[in-house]
Amino acid sequence: MPSAPIVGLGGTPHAITELDRYIHARFVAPYNIDVVYRWDPNEASLVRSMTPVDENKLMDILDIIEIGWLNPYLDVAGAEFLRKYSFSRFFIGGSGDYTTKDTKTVGVATGGVKIALYGINDLDMRDENNFSFYLYILHHEFAHILHQTKFFPSEWLNIPGNNQWFTSNWVQTSNSAAQGQGFVRNYAKMSAEEDFVETISFLLVNGQDAYDKLKLDNPAYADIYKKKEDIVTKFYKDAVGIDFKVLQSKVHASVQTLLSLNK
């Protein structure tokens, strides 16, 4: 055992910085959403190495969270909705969370209240595909919160020809092959619940034009894509009183806003 305490392990106090004040003003005070970015043994893995997030990159991911996820819901549903349903904590890691099999995890949700985002030091705000992936994760996990809090639409379980494709071995299917089976990407084949939230994320982040292209490129499954879109729209109206198409336009517009901030 070391004779002196290891700084930063377990409760070492930190001076309050301008960044901490910014986080408190933008996330904690109005919505009770905490953002943890310093290494914390209660938040990060003790058995895998992880570097802390660079402060400039932290500001980038905070922009994604605020502009691309929080503000669209604030606009269509209000602050009380966010206080009631949103994540209570974000943990931001600089490096990816690598497993013993050398696979990289970039996002993990815990109990519908905490979401960990990893690999933020590799975030490139000039690359739409790069930063949109994190926005996709946010909307994916928040959609889980909504259907777990409210209800899962039973119609999803009765989409003709859809259930036959669900498999725990989804990783063996390419995204293009999955789209040829009526799914927005391969992970949607994991289960009905994952299919539901993946469809929501795709519609919000990739946008209506990209979704319509899936229907055009896969005519044999166009009816399934349309049915899924209709169920999503109805769920948002019935479960939380949100016009999904308005939310969709705001999220998709936020991608362009994020790009314009980083030209």
**Over the stretch 23-75, which tens digit does the pLDDT of each residue have?**
999 999 999 999 999 866 566 554 455 678 888 999 999 999 999 999 999 99
Average pLDDT over residues 97-123: 70
pLDDT, one tens digit per residue, over 81-109 is 999 998 899 999 887 655 544 445 566 67
Q: Which residues of 132-154 are buried (b: 16+ CB within 10 A; e: fewer)?
A: bbbbbbbbbbbbbbbbeeeeebe
Nearest to 188 by CA among 157, 160, 215, 166: 166
What residues pair up with 108 in beta bridges, in sequence order? 116
Structural tokens at position 27? 């996330």
Domain boundaries, the chain: 1-123, 135-263
For residue range 182-225, what is the model confidence (pLDDT) as tens digits?
999 999 999 999 999 999 999 999 999 999 999 999 999 999 99
CA 77 to chain centre: 18
Check residue 48 and give its pLDDT.
53
pLDDT of 242 above 70: yes
Helices (H) then strands (E): counts for the chain: 11, 6
Please tell me which residue, 5 or 108, carries the higher pLDDT value: 108
Q: Are both 1-123 and 135-263 of the same fold?
A: yes
Domain 1-123 has CATH 3.40.390.70: yes
Task: Express as a percent the part of the chain with pLDDT over 90.
Answer: 70
In the chain, alpha helices (H): 18-23, 29-31, 55-63, 71-77, 79-85, 128-149, 175-179, 192-201, 208-217, 222-240, 244-261
| pLDDT value of residue 51 | 78
| Domain covering 135-263: architecture | 3-Layer(aba) Sandwich (3.40)
| CB-based contact 144:107 (threshold 8 Å) | no
Does residue 117 register a pLDDT over 60? yes
For tokens 């948002």, what's the residue? Answer: 236
Handedness of CA 68, 69, 71, 77 (dihedral sign): positive
Backbone region of residue 32 per phi and psi (left: phi > 0; alpha: psi in -120 to 50; beta: other values): left
Enter the tokens of residue 60.
């980038």
Q: What is the mean pLDDT of residues 235-246?
A: 97
pLDDT of amino acid 1: 44
Rounded Cα gap, residues 36 and 43, in angstroms: 8
pLDDT at residue 63, rounded to an integer: 96
Q: Are 123 and 134 in contact (CB under 8 A)?
A: yes
pTM of the model: 0.88
Q: Residues of the chain with pLDDT > 70: what percent?
A: 83
| Residue 35 φ/ψ, nearest 5 degrees | -125, 115
What's the mean pLDDT in 98-124?
Answer: 71
- Cα–Cα dist 87/31, whole Å: 9
Contacts of 12 (CB under 8 A, 6+ apart): 5
CA dist 80 and 31 (Å) reads: 8
